[in-house]
Amino acid sequence: MKFRVERDVLAEAVAWVVRGLSSRPPVPVLAGVRLQADEEGTLTLSAFDYEISATVTVEADVAEGGTVLVLGKLLADISRNLPAKPVEISAEGTKVQLSCGSSRFSLIQMPVADYPNLPSPAESSGTIPGPAFTQAVAQVSVAADRGDTLPILTGVRVEIDGDKVTMLATDRYRLAMRELTWHPSSPEASHVALVPARTLSETAKALGAAGSIDVALGDADHGDGLIGFEAGSRRATTRLLDGEYPKVTSIFPSSVDTVAVMHTGTLIEAVRRVALVAERNTPVRLRFTDGQVAIEAGTGDDAQGSEAIEASLTGPEIESAFNPQFLLDGLGALGTDYTRMAFTQPSRPCVISGQAESEGDSDETYRYVLMPVRFAG
C-alpha cells in the first residue's frame, strides 16, 4: 500500500473516525483505525468498537492499493501536528511509514485480520436538515444524565411519527423536549429509539454543516438496535440503549398561573453574575414582581449577590429557586431573543420556552422543564 493525501484532508478524516474510540478498549485491536487505499483514487478510514462505528472516504493519490490498521489516537495526534504539506503513507513489512516534508514517522501495523466487520449500512429511513438537527440535539442533550446510576437516562429518546420528530431527554431534575420536521422515506414512518446522548451530540456537531443528513434505523435485515447517520462521505452508526424510557411528558402542566417574559441575553448575564457567590448546590432565587425579576443568591453569613432586570409579568407574583447551572443550560439552549418562564406554583416545575418578540406567542417547539430547589426563607 502506498498513497499520498493532503495533510488537512487526512487530519480531518482521522479526527472524525477516532472521536468515539475508547482510551481503554476491551480488545487492543479496537484502538485501531483501518486505512483502505483504492487504486481508483480513494482512501477510506474506519473505526469501530462494537458500540460506535465511523467511516469516511476522501480523495487520495494511490500508487498501490491495500489495507492497514494503526493506532487511531496516535495517527490523529501525528496528522494534526504535521506541517502543511502532502502526506505520504506506505506499508513496509510490519511498519507503516508516514512522511510529510522533513517529518518521518514509523507506526506499528496492527493485525487487520483480527479487526471486526463494520455494521452494514441500513436503508435510509429519511433525511433531516443538518443545521436543524444539530440545534435540536444540542437543545435536548443538555438535560441528559451524565452519570451511570440510571444508564437509560444518559440517552435521548427519539420518536418518529410520519414527518414529525420528537427528541426528549431528562436527568430527573430537568427535562428538555424539541419537536421538528423531517423528510421520511415513508409517510407512515414510525420509530422510537433511545440514542446515547454523548454520541448523538458528537455526531450532530460533526455532520451538522451538511445540507441534509440521512438517518437509518436498523431493521431485521441490518440488525435491530442500531441507528445510522450519513452526510456526504461520512457515515456513523451507534448502538441504541435498551430499556423502557420513563413516561415523563406528564410533567408538563396543563395550565399556568404566572408567566414572565425577559430578554434572554440580559437574564443569562444576570444569573451568571449572581451565581458567582452561589456555592456548590446553592440555588439562585428568582422573585417575580410587576415589571421586574430580582435574582439573588447567598444568605446569612455567606457571600451574597443580587440583581434586578426588567420582566413582563402576567398573573400573581411568585418566587422560586433553581440550580444556577441547570437554569443557564436551559436559557443557553433557547436560541431566541426572549425567554418565557411559566409557573403554576413555586414548588412545581417551571416551563421555559423562547419568544422572538417581547410580546406574542412563545415557540413551543422547544420546551425546557426545570424542577425548583427548596430554599430557606
Tell me the residue ranges of DSSP E strands in 140-291.
155-161, 164-170, 174-181, 183-184, 190-196, 212-217, 226-231, 234-239, 258-263, 284-289
Residue 134: its pLDDT value, please?
94
> How far apart, in whole angstroms, are the C-alpha atoms of residue 88 and residue 5?
7
Residue 220's pLDDT band, with cuts at 50, 70 and 90, is: very low
Residue 218's pLDDT band, with cuts at 50, 70 and 90, is: low
Backbone angles phi, psi at 269, to 5 degrees: -65, -40
Residue 222: its pLDDT value, please?
44
Query: Closest Cα partner for 285 from 304, 302, 266?
Result: 304
> How far apart, in whole angstroms, are the C-alpha atoms of residue 285 and residue 61?
62
Q: Is the pLDDT of residue 221 over 60?
A: no
> How far apart, in whole angstroms, are the C-alpha atoms of residue 216 and residue 228?
5
The model's pTM is 0.88
* DSSP 8-state secondary structure symbol assigned to residue 119: P
Task: Name the residue ranges covered by the structural domains of the chain.
Answer: 2-114, 126-249, 253-370
Residue 224: its pLDDT value, please?
63
Residue 223: its pLDDT value, please?
45
Q: 196 exposed, middle or buried (CB, 10 Å; 0-12, 13-18, 19+)? A: buried
**Average pLDDT estimate for 241-248:** 88
Indicate the average pLDDT of the chain: 91
* DSSP 8-state secondary structure symbol assigned to residue 72: H
* Whole-number Cα distances in Å, 284 to 276, 278, 281, 309: 10, 7, 10, 14
**Average pLDDT estimate for 114-142:** 92
Residue 79: its pLDDT value, please?
96
Q: What's the angle, vertex CA 124, arms to CA 120 and CA 125, rounded to 5?
A: 125
- Judge whether 2-114 and 253-370 match in fold: yes
Query: Closest Cα partner for 16 from 45, 51, 49?
Result: 45
Model confidence pLDDT, tens digit, residues 256-292: 899 999 999 999 999 999 999 887 778 999 999 989 9
Widest Cα–Cα separation across the chain: 78
Residue 89: its pLDDT value, please?
96
> How far apart, in whole angstroms, are the C-alpha atoms of residue 360 and residue 115?
57
**Average pLDDT estimate for 15-24:** 86
Residues, the chain: 377
130-141 and 197-207 helices cross at what angle (nearest 10)?
Answer: 150
Q: Is the pLDDT of residue 72 over 50?
A: yes
Model confidence pLDDT, tens digit, residues 300-335: 777 789 999 999 999 999 999 999 999 999 999 999
**Average pLDDT estimate for 121-148:** 92
Q: Average the pLDDT over each of 85-94, 146-155, 256-265, 303-312 and give the range with the smallest value.
A: 146-155
Give residues with Cβ within 8 angstroms of 24, minimum separation 6.
Answer: none
Q: Is the pLDDT of residue 299 over 80?
A: no
Which residue did the predictor score with more confidence, 140 or 282? 140
How many other C-beta atoms can be found within 10 angstroms of the C-beta atom of residue 93? Answer: 7
Q: Is the pLDDT of residue 351 over 70?
A: yes
Element (DSSP H or E) covering residue 8: helix 7-18
> How far apart, in whole angstroms, are the C-alpha atoms of residue 192 and residue 146?
22
Domain 2-114 has CATH 3.10.150.10: yes
Q: Are 175 and 350 in contact (CB under 8 A)?
A: no
Domain 126-249 has CATH 3.10.150.10: yes
Q: Are 73 and 54 in contact (CB under 8 A)?
A: no
* Whole-number Cα distances in Å, 324 to 54, 80, 104, 270, 371: 36, 37, 50, 11, 12
* DSSP 8-state secondary structure symbol assigned to residue 13: H
> How far apart, in whole angstroms, are the C-alpha atoms of residue 6 and residue 8?
6
Query: Closest Cα partner for 317 from 278, 281, 345, 285?
Result: 345
Which of 3.40.309.10, 3.10.150.10, 3.30.230.10, 3.30.1490.150 would CATH assign to domain 253-370? 3.10.150.10
Residue identified by cell 483480527 is 114
* Whole-number Cα distances in Å, 28 to 21, 44, 77, 210: 11, 21, 18, 33
